[in-house]
């Protein structure tokens, strides 16, 4: 994405929300960091660097349950593929 495109989007968001452009940028950075942090915690949990309880403390039970279900589905698919 070109820099002009980002600037245009920031301006449009600021106008739509009645905020200053710097506030829009701050919110974008905060959301991005939250997403990156969530992804890191999930990775640490899946790699065994965090216990399930620690992951639940950081992410909430719903997210950890979703991660567990997705991992189980992937593991089943891999197992099926290995024996197909």
pLDDT of residue 52: 97
Average pLDDT over residues 46-73: 97
The pTM assigned to this predicted structure is 0.78
- ∠ at Cα 26 (21, 31), nearest 5°? 125
Q: What range defines the domain where residue 51 resides?
A: 3-82
As a whole-number percent, the residues of the chain with pLDDT over 70 amount to: 96
As a dihedral over the C-alpha atoms of residue 31, residue 34, residue 36, residue 39, rounded to 10 degrees, the angle is -130
Query: How far from the centroid of its chain's Cα atoms is residue 55's Cα?
Result: 14
Confidence band (pLDDT; 50, 70, 90) for 19?
Answer: very high
Residue 24 has pLDDT above 80, yes or no: yes
Buried b (16+ CB within 10 A) or exposed e, 8-18: eebeebbeeee
């Amino acid at each position: 994405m070109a820099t002009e495109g980002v600037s245009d989007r920031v301006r449009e968001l600021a106008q739509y929300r009645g905020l200053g452009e710097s506030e829009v940028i701050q919110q974008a950075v905060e959301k991005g960091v939250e997403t990156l942090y969530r992804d890191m915690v999930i990775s640490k949990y899946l790699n065994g660097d965090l216990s399930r309880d620690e992951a639940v403390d950081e992410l909430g039970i719903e997210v950890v349950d979703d991660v567990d279900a997705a991992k189980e589905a992937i593991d089943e698919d891999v197992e099926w593929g290995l024996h197909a």
